[in-house]
Structure formats: structure tokens, C-alpha cells
Structure 1
Amino acid sequence: MPNNHHPTDPESLRRARRLRREATRPEQLLWAALRNGRLAGAKFRRQVVLGEYILDFYSAEHGLVVEIDGESHEDRGAYDSRRDEWLRARGLRVVRYTNDDVLAELDGVLEGIRRLLISSSHRAE
């Protein structure tokens, strides 16, 4: 897959930086658990620009996108579907959790992500 995480659109880069600075509580909690290879040794980046989209969390090595959906996603089902389809067409797996999932069941969310990371490692062998 080409190196698309370097945006050509300066506005997308500014928006991604703002999203990193203004992370929601669920995003902060998940980032604390994912950063620096803390989950299964996988490297994740947050608020990564890919094409015209900004991904909440992205592991390029594992081809995994983790999205945390808050209230802003309630009326965005069609948009999210198109976005997920675009990402899957590029060989990426997309998993979505709600803010409530992260706040109430962080361990379960992390276990789900860990399983996806392990399954991607087995495919690469």
C-alpha cells in the first residue's frame, strides 16, 4: 500500500493536529493503552490522515484502523459506510467501538483489538 499518511492538503493536517490536541476522554483512554506498542507490541498512530479521511487509530503494520464513534457519528451512518468501504478497498480492516464501549468495557475493547492484531500477524506468516 502506498504511503498515503502524509497529507497533501494542509487543512487536513491542521485538522488532525487539532483532533489530537482535543481528544475525547474515550480517545485518551484508548491511546494510553495503545501507544508505544503497549498492546501486543503493535505500533499505532492517532488521528492519521489517509486519503481524504482522518483515522482515529491506525496500525500500518497490521493494516488495522480503530474508530471510536461518539455522538458525532449518530447521523453519519452512510458516510461511515462509504469511508469504511474505501479503507477496506485498500486492504485495511476497520473496527468500530462507541465511546460507551471504551468507557464501560475498556478491557473488552482492548481484547478485541488484541485478537485482531494476532490474527493479522498469523496472516502475514
Structure 2
Amino acid sequence: MSGKQMLTQIEGIIIYRNFVEDLPYNPLLKTLTKEKRKLGILSEVLFWKQVRNRTFHNIDFDRQRIIGNYIVDFYVKTLGLVIEIDGFNHDLKQEYDLERTKFLESLGLKVFRITDWDVKHNFSVVMKELEDFIVENYS
């Protein structure tokens, strides 16, 4: 036994826990996090409705999670997985996104990016790509 703990299965493939401990946290962002949740960006709300309450392979997702000086769209603590939904304004923030991704990865996290457009227009494809990403990185 390798000591790895099973989290779930996706299409019969075992997915193992990858809990990343002691993530940095900036408490000054807490108010902004609550505001972002209330804002209810459509693609985030659509995604949240599909994954909340462990409805996606019994995996627990957090919404608007503070990690360091960033607020990530979604976080799966049992996997150390960040899910970011990029709107059209991300085209103008590529340098910022790259810096942010490098920081998150330096903590041992994996980052899965999807576009706002795909969430609204290709949702089943987005969810299949997320499954594939999880299988590829955590099985």
C-alpha cells in the first residue's frame, strides 16, 4: 500500500487525495470574497450549480477561495486543484494570469482553466475536460 487515500472514482479509475496543507491566506480579502460571491457571474453560477454539494463525482468544491493574495474561482482542497473560469477580460491579463498560476503551482496546486464562453456554450465538454484533467493528474 502506497499510503495514498482514495477520494473517488471516475469511470472506474481511482482518484487519489492530494491535500495541500498550510496554504497562505490573506484575511484582508475576506470582504471582497463575499462580494464576489454575491455578484453572481453567470458562468461561475452555472458551474457552481453543477458541482456544489458533492454532485460531481462526490468531490467537494469551495467557491471564491482565498489562497495567498488571490481569490480563486473554485478550489478542491482534497485534490489541491484550482479551477479558474476566464472571461474575455483575461485576454488583457495574460501576464497577471501567468504570474498567478506560477504562484499557485509553486504551492503544489494544479490549475485547470476554462473559458466563460465554454461554460455557457459547451458545458458538457467543460465537465468532460475536467474529468479528464482529474484522471490525468490524480489517478
Query: Does TM, scored on the shorter chain, surpass 0.5?
Result: yes
Q: How far did residue 121 of structure 1 move?
A: 4.0
TM-score (norm 1): 0.88
Per-residue CA deviations over 1:39-61 (Å, capped at 9, x if unaligned) read 11111001000000000010011
Structure-1 residue corresponding to 2:6: none
Say if 2:17 is the partner of 1:4: no
Determine the structure 1 residue equivalent to 2:81.
Answer: 64
Unaligned runs of 5+ in 2: 1-19
| 3-state SS, counterpart of residue 34 of structure 2 | helix
Q: How many angstroms does 1:78 deviate by? A: 0.3
When residues 120 and 40 of structure 1 are mapped into structure 2, their CA distance, relative to the original with a 3 A threshold, is farther
Q: Please list the CA deviations of residues 15-71 of structure 1 after superposition, one character each: whole Å capped at 9, or x if unmatched.
A: 111111112111110000011111111110010000000000100111111101113
Unaligned runs of 5+ in 1: none
TM-score, scaled to structure 2: 0.79
**Greater fraction of residues in strand:** 2
Between Structure 1 and Structure 2, the one with more helix by share is 1
Measure how far apart 1:80 and its partner are: 0.2
| Partners of 1:40 and 1:114 within 8 A in 2 | no
Larger relative contact order, structure 1 or 2 (CA cutoff 8 Å, min sep 6): 2
Residues 48-87 of structure 1: pairs in structure 2 closer than 5 A: 48-87=65-104
- Between structure 1 and structure 2, the one with the greater Rg is 2
Size of the aligned set, in residue pairs, is 120
